[in-house]
Structure 1
């Protein structure tokens, strides 16, 4: 998915379709932060102080710590886990409530960013974003209707058409809610009832997939960073684009299953290639956020479809008989 986003954005170059720099105050490129190397990214993932990472919003160390913490939690006895898990679940509920409240207020901030964008660039930036939307839709469509069916057929020999028909309810739910987490119960029901996948496989693969297997989000983040670099007139070298691929994968793993989480995580990738402190970035991202809802609906559907394909493939590898209804 990341490769599709990378290739399409380099070919179509939506950020180069409109010149917006003429109305914006010049910026000295030397002031940009130095891009991370692959080694730097690995080092940055290991937190020296997890509380400092939490307070500063440094996501990669938080993702690394969460994975290690989860592995450690699995090693605990059932009695100890039963004491700790309710606390973690309650904390998750609190954070989700706070996040949803912030999302409800986000239109106010987006409105301010759009006003600033119109003042700085006129409608030119919106024209570029329009080409960007078409690029993302094309990439997501290729992954959804070409790549995933090929993977399913080669891996299992099953009919992609029957699979999509059986998962239609889950895909529709994903498209309407823009949340893979909210869609999870429907996805599990569809896989078990409409594809005859056992509860053992579906209850393990789908919750994990809804968190770490976000194909659409990874494609979106990769293409988004390239689009932003094209808009501000900075050409990224091959090594920097390779860093984008790796960081987009890590960021998609850490993205929450809530609406527009992928756009928030895009700042991780921007920081990795040294574009995080560019003054035009907030304006561009704010404009992207204004039209993010339809893109979020599409990429969530891709995420959920990828989860169902992966679940069926694993079920077949475990010797189960997958029968679509």
Structure 2
């Protein structure tokens, strides 16, 4: 395993697992291909958790479903409950929670999300002295241009207020899309990844989010997905000095597919799926172990059942 600054043998205060965009879809051909691929993820996770112990929770910050059809929500809920059993799952809202590719009605997305997961669109929870904050991707119907994403004022206020309310606790923030100029493209002259320098893949008002994170000294980790970044995309994990404290940005690669114009192609009649693998073809998820003064972040390839890399980053008390 390639790594940076190995953690010592002290036990973590708590651990959790981050799983990127999952894209459940209740179309038979899609579901069969999807189930086959994700079986590597869940089989390996079960073996790891039996060996290392279960995480305190799992989190997936958006795009748990491919389209907003209620049957996709039900499929995702049923499948994930079966795999995670009694491990709490904290889901987020991504752009695909509003996606209506097959004529679905996105009008009641918020209600369907809440009814399915038992969570509001934005919320927080406490764990072992830390505060976790799940932010919501904006409803594209509220944007002047759906390709230019702005985090709503309500969501910015929620972030600021929650960080302030728990100012004496280290904070972990989740948002579906990464902030501008974090995760980048692997390509040099040839596009290989969607990335945070592109419109749609990062908020236009990223500076406002950063300003809140800079002002609130307890903002430690900022975890996103959305870009389906491939392995070794620059800045998958990157620490910035915001104000007078460090904040680390982590992009959760998707276990469904990584890379630009990769993954599933569903036939027009919905009868077949052609899957285009990335190179390398990894099935990733992320382990987070939280210590008093740092966080150990490891990325696992469930295809090869091996650890790819470890980062140890600052995790500070306010």
TM-score by length of 2: 0.25
TM-score by length of 1: 0.25
More strand by share: 2
More helix by share: 1
Larger relative contact order, structure 1 or 2 (CA cutoff 8 Å, min sep 6): 1
